[in-house]
Structure 1
């Protein structure tokens, strides 16, 4: 940046902050003339245009700033604010999310400054609510989303955001109420049905959850997480065939996460198909080598097949990751007993009792 360009940009910042938006725009325009490949004056001019209410010009300048510097969080913030004013909340959320990913502190500061300049800007409260939610500051997020609603920003995304914050706080009834309103305002958003379904799951409302996940799949047939969530819920209901079908579809759609294979493995185990269960648990620990439950359950599957050496190896791996679970020591003790190693079996059973897991006569290894 040349000295003249730097001075022009600083002058633009000063004038913008003083409320002289026309003067700021002129200064930024001069900075752009001197160095048209620098993103900063485009971002500054975009903010000045936004403050003047010339939203389309603001978006155009933010577009250019992001094109020149894709890592400029403040340009995404300004564009998110602009899209919000235009009522394009899908784009606003996408830009705000990217700004948070790049620089959550800068995103929060931008939104707070916007609120300071105009306490009635509902979009700024909404954007800051998204920032707080991303930072897991859910109480603050709820306050901001609520203020944006009070200022009459009645869009589905606002209620969905507040519902998510309530869900993360464990207030599932409030979450569901907000998701209900989001669905009423925009019944075509798959994410809202998915989120409401997760809240129903937490309340034990599995049938309602499945209905919501099914609607999410209908609206977005390539949403792998919707299939995964429905698969988990079918599993909780004991409908393992449907659960397996959904887990398999999630994998086909490239949701190759350890929990997906683990969930499907558990269903195969419940059906007595221990070879397929072992294969899925194997995929799970390959994807997440610290997945203690997957090692443990694979160990249980090996016990069912009578392969106590492999079972002991898996139980030992689970103990290495989490040495506080008494049932794992008990299960390993059982396998040692089956192999005739009474000393090691007694040691493991004693450790299980020490950790609060009472040995029961005839109890074998059992899945978690």
Structure 2
């Protein structure tokens, strides 16, 4: 926290010296966003974009701040602009996919995750997110394939084990589901996420009670 506040002081100084330094506004906005100050982060990203209208990262980060504030449509507009400026921005595709999925546009989300994976085939989160959309569209086997690939890329991605466990359970593979939930629980405990760990343990208990 102290380092981030110190960083903000440095960016303030840089802006004082050169008020047209787009990267200083961008960095200050990113730091403010990390500290949870989304509103002021957006003001900084606005300024960075005003100075440099082709600043793809500023659009992407402003989109994320808008998303966090609940403005998902505004977020999609920003992600779309980031992609227009930089068609190889895998992160912007992934972010737009998440927002589209949450607004009910599953096919649009699927297309975005496909593109993110095409640009960056080692993006475990994109595979995990595409798996969620596939599952919601009824493609359970496709979802399992995506979760498995996410785990292959990042064996510490607890969410992918959890998600694969849910689909396996839905498909009647209770033993496979328990194994996935156990692995997810183990990782969540290591990562100190006690709330999610407790939820996973309850899922295991529910399956065992049904057997």
Assess same fold via TM > 0.5.
yes
Could you tell me which residue of structure 1 aligns to residue 166 of structure 2? 266
Q: Partners in 2 of 1:240 and 1:277 — Cα distance?
A: 13
Q: Partners in 1 of 2:157 and 2:116 — Cα distance?
A: 20
Could you tell me which residue of structure 1 aligns to residue 207 of structure 2? 301
1:249 corresponds to which of 128, 149, 161: 149
1:115 corresponds to which of 8, 11, 15: 15
Displacement of 1:153: 4.1
Larger Rg: 1
Check conservation: 1:156, 1:186, Cα contact below 8 A: yes
Check conservation: 2:124, 2:151, Cα contact below 8 A: yes
Could you state the TM-score of these two structures normalised by the residue count of structure 2?
A: 0.92
By relative contact order (CA 8 Å, sep 6+), the higher-ranking structure is 2
2:121 corresponds to which of 201, 221, 242: 221
Q: Partners in 1 of 2:87 and 2:116 — Cα distance?
A: 10
Deviations 1:135-184 (CA, angstroms, capped at 9, x unpaired)? 12111110000011122342211101101111111100000000110010
Q: Partners in 2 of 1:202 and 1:247 — Cα distance?
A: 19
For the pair 1:235 / 2:145, whether they are aligned, the reply is no
Q: Partners in 1 of 2:134 and 2:207 — Cα distance?
A: 21
Call closer, same or farther: CA 1:255–1:176 in 2, change over 3 Å.
Answer: farther
Q: Partners in 2 of 1:263 and 1:127 — Cα distance?
A: 34
Q: Partners in 2 of 1:236 and 1:165 — Cα distance?
A: 26
Deviations 1:110-144 (CA, angstroms, capped at 9, x unpaired)? 11111122322222111111111121211111000
Report the RMSD for the aligned CA atoms in angstroms: 1.5
Q: Partners in 2 of 1:255 and 1:204 — Cα distance?
A: 29
Q: Partners in 2 of 1:192 and 1:298 — Cα distance?
A: 35
Displacement of 1:238: 2.9
Could you tell me which residue of structure 1 aligns to residue 36 of structure 2? 136
For the pair 1:183 / 2:83, whether they are aligned, the reply is yes
Q: Partners in 2 of 1:272 and 1:302 — Cα distance?
A: 13
Could you tell me which residue of structure 2 aligns to residue 193 of structure 1? 93
Check conservation: 1:228, 1:247, Cα contact below 8 A: yes
Runs of 4+ in 1 over 3 A off after TM superposition: none
Q: Partners in 1 of 2:7 and 2:98 — Cα distance?
A: 28
Could you state the TM-score of these two structures normalised by the residue count of structure 1?
A: 0.54
Q: Partners in 2 of 1:262 and 1:151 — Cα distance?
A: 44
1:162 corresponds to which of 36, 50, 62: 62
SS in 1 for 2:116: helix
Total equivalences in the alignment: 205
